[in-house]
């Protein structure tokens, strides 16, 4: 009984501390389109996919798109 109670007393503060949100040091902002594109190109260059698929994704990221259809 004592062991269960002491485990509970120790576990509750740990779990509460893990669930607490850290204070934001900087205000959150949305990433710009240029930042998203640069990150996507960086991740793409680090991938090891075959060259045809790599070229298709790179072309889709670098060529301008007209309209808002997303295709």
For residue range 5-28, list pLDDT tens digits in order.
Answer: 788 788 887 777 776 676 777 777
Cβ atoms of residues 34 and 21 within 8 Å:
no
Higher pLDDT, 42 or 10: 42
Q: Residue 50: inside a domain, yes or no?
A: yes
Q: Residue 37: inside a domain, yes or no?
A: yes
Domain that includes residue 46, residue range: 31-64
Q: Residue 40: inside a domain, yes or no?
A: yes
Please state the domain count of the chain.
1
Q: Residue 19: inside a domain, yes or no?
A: no
Torsion over CA: 13, 16, 20, 22 (sign): positive
Q: Mean per-residue pLDDT for 46-50?
A: 91
Whole-prediction pTM: 0.51
User: Residue 38: which pLDDT band, with cuts at 50, 70 and 90?
Assistant: very high
Return the exposure string of 3-39: e unless at least 16 CB atoms fall within 10 Å of the residue's CB, then b.
eeeeeeeeeeeeeeeeeeeeeeeeeeeeeeeeeeeee
């Amino acid at each position: 009984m004592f062991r269960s109670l002491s485990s509970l007393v120790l576990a509750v503060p740990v779990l509460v501390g893990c669930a607490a949100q850290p204070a934001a040091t900087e205000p959150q902002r949305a990433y710009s389109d240029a930042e998203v594109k640069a990150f996507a190109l960086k991740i793409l260059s680090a991938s090891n996919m075959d060259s045809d698929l790599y070229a298709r994704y790179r072309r889709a990221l670098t060529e301008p798109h007209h309209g808002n259809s997303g295709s």
